[in-house]
Amino acid sequence: MIYTELTKKALKLCFEVHKNQLDKSGMPYVFHPFYLATQMSDEICTVCALLHDVVEDSDYTLDDIQKLGFPSEVTDALSMLTHDAATPYMEYVREIRTNPIAKRVKLADLMHNSDLSRLDTVDEKALKRIEKYKMAIELLSE
């Protein structure tokens, strides 16, 4: 993990938003963005990894994040990483390819979400989700 003034601000916001959320196995959700952040090698990617689900999972907007002092590099990537339900998933993934920061974070996100050992029960729904993630990883890796 990279610790700078900006990443510490992102850590605090990430924790504030996700502190009461649980993942599919009942584990604190905040472990997921924290894990992704440890996979990043620069400040901006670390911040984006920490904040990648903030807009989807809270009342925070991209404008709010910018007003908190996060640079446009961060909000541009977060805009790409925030999936609008009206956009088909693979179209959303194709668009992510145009932003190197978003692409790097999304690949790490998909890899972590594809780790079946995180789940207590692997059912048909989980297997279908993993297949979708494999296709997305291939698309981002082209």
What positions carry a catalytic annotation?
Answer: 56-57
Q: Are 24 and 119 in contact (CB under 8 A)?
A: yes
Number of other residues whose CB lies within 10 A of the CB of residue 101: 22
d(CA 127, CA 71): 37
Q: How far is CA 33 from CA 39, 49, 117, in A?
A: 10, 6, 17
